Amino acid sequence: MKHRPILLPLFGGESIANAIHEAFDYSLGDITLHQFPDGETMVRIHSCVQDQDVIVIANLDHPNNKLLPLLFTAETARDLGAKKIGLVAPYLPYMRQDKQFHGGEGISSVYFARLVSTYFDGLVTIDPHLHRWHDLNDIYTIPAKALHATDTIAAWIKTHVPDAILMGPDAESSQWVSEIAHKIDAPFLILDKERQGDHSVKVSTPNIALYQNHSPVLVDDIISTGVTMMETVSHLKALEMKPPVCIGIHALFSDDAYENLQKTGAKIITCNTILHASNGIDLKGNLVHAVGAIFEA
């Protein structure tokens, strides 16, 4: 008999859990996080997980307040006799601190990987920020699978922006931008970005004027403060290019970043790895497929 894992959604993971449940008829588990008056959390899993595999589906943007409840969920499931405990995290946080940039700093991507690898038996995520780390398994010691949004983004651009010139704001974005461009046979440019601080970047835009008749589509993995997108959009406006579309995989949007980017007049579309008003590209199917490949094989 095939395993029927139990799905435990946390922090808004319900719609993905429902999609997996509908595809494979895995049970939707019942879990509550009780917050005590002092802010401490008690995890309670109401479903029986004894001798069952468990899949925790958790949106992990803004992770600091979520981390302890997440790890306690894994511990609780294990105490209740769960066999294997997997984590589906559409957005994987802490990947950008991937080296010691200044003396005295820690390498958070390694520490976060160590924590997750200690408490979970496997990880599925979408387009983690792999820059200096080339593979999740460089830092995760459990089977860790990175899915890619490129096919789905390419299909969206092909339908909605047939005259696209794709642009990546920096060398790191080249992995997504070049692949999407090849899939839809569109031209692409990789720009130069120099980050001067959390809220300040300089982006240079050589050769853009060659593509005056195209619609610029900026693609980046993360939109956080939005300054990378805003700086690029300002150059495009100065060159009187057609109105741009900004596509981000992970809609982090700190503070008023979304409103500020909207004010530039750019159209903003993100994938639903983080729930946000700008979500327009649905990656639930990618996660359902990946879970099926693991448990239905």
Q: What angle do CA 24, 285, 268 make, to 5 degrees?
A: 155
Residue 221 binds to ligand R5P (criterion: CB under 6 A): yes
Total of chain residues touching ligand R5P, rule CB under 6 A? 15
Residue 61 binds to ligand R5P (criterion: CB under 6 A): no
Site string for ligand R5P, 267-286 (x = CB under 6 A): --------------------
What is the C-alpha separation between 164 and 154, in angstroms, rounded?
A: 11
Residue 172 binds to ligand R5P (criterion: CB under 6 A): yes
Please name the residue that has the structure tokens 């997440």.
Answer: 70
* Residue placing its CB nearer to ligand R5P in the complex, 56 or 222: 222
Residue 228 binds to ligand R5P (criterion: CB under 6 A): yes
Among 6, 10, 82, 227, binds ligand R5P (CB under 6 A): 227
CA 211 to chain centroid, in Å, comes to: 30
CA 270 to chain centroid, in Å, comes to: 10
* Residue placing its CB nearer to ligand R5P in the complex, 44 or 202: 202
Among 180, 220, 246, 271, binds ligand R5P (CB under 6 A): 220
What is the C-alpha separation between 225 and 124, in angstroms, rounded?
A: 26
Q: Which residues fall within 8 angstroms of residue 164, CB to CB, at 6 or more apart?
A: 157, 184, 186, 214, 215, 216, 217, 245
What is the C-alpha separation between 21 and 16, in angstroms, rounded?
A: 8
What is the C-alpha separation between 55 and 9, in angstroms, rounded?
A: 8
- Rounded to a whole number of angstroms, the minimum distance from the CB of residue 233 to ligand R5P is 12
Residue 232 binds to ligand R5P (criterion: CB under 6 A): no
Q: Applying CB under 6 A, which residues contact ligand R5P?
A: 96, 169-170, 172-173, 201, 220-228
